[in-house]
Structure 1
């Protein structure tokens, strides 16, 4: 996809984990984006490409995975100050009675995990114009499941979110960014228009494996600028990169 898509997880202070960006760092990053790029909703990019139009150079999409409550407390107010927007990918199991344990972050005791957004917070964000997508039901590593299990999960999470929001949910973000041919087929069969990955190495890009770039704790400004370059994800998924990276393994 001819656009830079950045992936965040948490924006808060005091949680010393790579997925958690300090609020001051996030504010500086938002200031860079406001000065140097155009940040648009993911659905706007999808609609524009589907209609046969190109996406202007310097376009960025912001995404957040997992659905941590600090998104509401810290990230949204900062983005609003800079006129930015983002898509939040929610683990739909959190909508069920009793919620869900955050057991997918390595080295973190679920009892110590930051809280996830409540259904009321998710609905309020949607009603205010913030885009919501699916991050599956349980945050499982989808390639370890069968195609039938993936399809059931993708459908259930989509339906739960659509019931809450009373609106279509058209995009999916794979947990850990992991996918495989049977996972991508299931995402398409479940009715999503697009599915987002988070490549750690070379892989092919497509509508159900759209590469994103992860932004992590401690990324200096120069690295953030490089990661937001339009060519960064393109190079990561290019055939040349795959050949070079393959020789190094």
Structure 2
């Protein structure tokens, strides 16, 4: 349904759109691997192609730097991209990290605290995290267990948000200032969730609502652009230049109501 709407309303716009560098772009990656699972997996070869394109056309800044600009000096955001990863897959260390170092790009990885060293080799180990934290990679919280926060009681939400921060700060011996909502659509967190994030003294929070972040962006509901397995290079470039911002309609209350009715 989303694709049909986007194709019908946006095809001509996509083809004539030029690069839009006025808003902050935050990219969401998950797994960087040749094993195409989950759906958000990007191969190392494609990931490097994307990084090479970014290097030529944008400037990559850290999430912390971006939040500072959003608060005080939005004009410095122009042409900037932030790179983030959700869940903390071990291939972020084996496949993404060497390429990020090659291009000298900072990135933020959002960790599920219970997954560290508790899921075999699927997720990052503490030693891998500690190596990366000293080499231009920052870490944020993605809760304790990756449960959808909007479905939990307030007490459970506080535990997921606060305890994950405490655990990560203890393990990494470093302040954790950023948070990412699990799944991250507007249906997966609410205003109460955002208030709890603020109360727990995070500096910002990332959603997976689609789009760029403008001058009045809510730093506790930052939009991101997800990079998926099915994105060819043409689609990747169009996501970056704003031609596919029409996809942000799927995060509106109207669409969420339609989704509940029909799906």
TM-score (norm 1): 0.83
- Matched positions, count: 231
Inter-partner Cα distance in structure 2 for 1:245 and 1:91: 29
Residues 91-127 of structure 1 deviation map (CA, whole Å, 9 limit, x = unaligned): 01124xx7258xxxxxxxxxxxx61000111111112
Structure 2 residue runs without a partner (length 5+): 1-21
Offset from partner CA, 1:182-233 (integer Å, 9 cap, x none):
21111111111111111269xx962221111110113111111121235755
Question: 2:221 & 2:90 partners in 1: Cα distance?
Answer: 27
- Does structure 2 conserve the Cα–Cα contact (< 8 Å) formed by 1:133 and 1:169? yes
Aligned position for 2:219 = 207
Aligned to 2:134: 127
Distance of 1:62 and 1:17 partners within structure 2: 19
Question: Contact between 1:142 and 1:183, CA under 8 Å: does it hold in 2?
Answer: yes
Q: Secondary structure at the match of 1:140?
A: coil
SS of residue in 1 equivalent to 2:140: strand
Q: Using the alignment, how far apart are the partners of 1:206 and 1:173 within structure 2?
A: 14
Match runs of 1:160-199 below 5 Å: 160-177=167-184, 178-199=188-209
Alignment of 1:1-249 (within 5 A): 2-95=23-116, 99-100=118-119, 115-177=122-184, 178-199=188-209, 206-229=218-241, 242=252
Matches of 1:248 and 1:53, distance apart in 2: 35
CA gap of 1:187–1:246, structure 2 versus 1, over 3 A, is closer
Closer, same or farther in 2 for the Cα pair 1:222/1:231, shift >3 Å? closer
Runs of 5+ in structure 1 lacking a partner?
102-113
8 Å contact from structure 1 (residues 8, 215) kept in 2: yes
Equivalent residue, structure 2, for 1:106: none
Q: CA RMSD in A?
A: 2.8
Q: CA separation of 1:28/1:154 partners in 2, compared to 1, >3 Å: closer, same or farther? A: same
